[in-house]
Amino acid sequence: MTDNPFAAWTKQMQDMAKAMNPALESFTPKGFEKLWPTMPGDMVEQFAGKGMNPEGLDAKTKMLLTLGGLTILGAQAEAQIRMTVRQAVAQGATKQEIAEAIGLMGLFGGLPAMNKAMSLANEVLEETPE
């Protein structure tokens, strides 16, 4: 048994992925981002927007809420934050709305978490065409 259960779990998952597909041996979260940077808009709206609840929140609002939650978690999920920012932009969120969603979370998750999420969002927004 290892002293680091996360490392053991990661190795187990990598071994399983390698057994299923040898190309997955060097799979990383950034690799997943490159594989599927955003979902098609109609798919997001169907599963994360008004498709499931016509009277509910739209996909853009849900992406901003998701971004807020990921920020509060201490911005530990870097790949997920970058993917959510991309998806929020694809759903029509502006840079200002993304900045406000992250900035507000500084009150709940703390300034270090907010700064990290803002940095990750800026990386994505710099590579996103206007």
Q: What pLDDT, on the 0 to 100 scale, is given for residue 1?
A: 47
d(CA 59, CA 62): 5
- All domains in the chain, ordered by first residue: 36-127 (1.20.1290.10)
Q: Which residue intervals of 21-105 are DSSP H helices?
A: 29-35, 41-48, 59-72, 78-90, 95-104
What stretches in the chain show pLDDT beneath 70? 1-2, 23-51, 75, 129-130
The model's pTM: 0.66
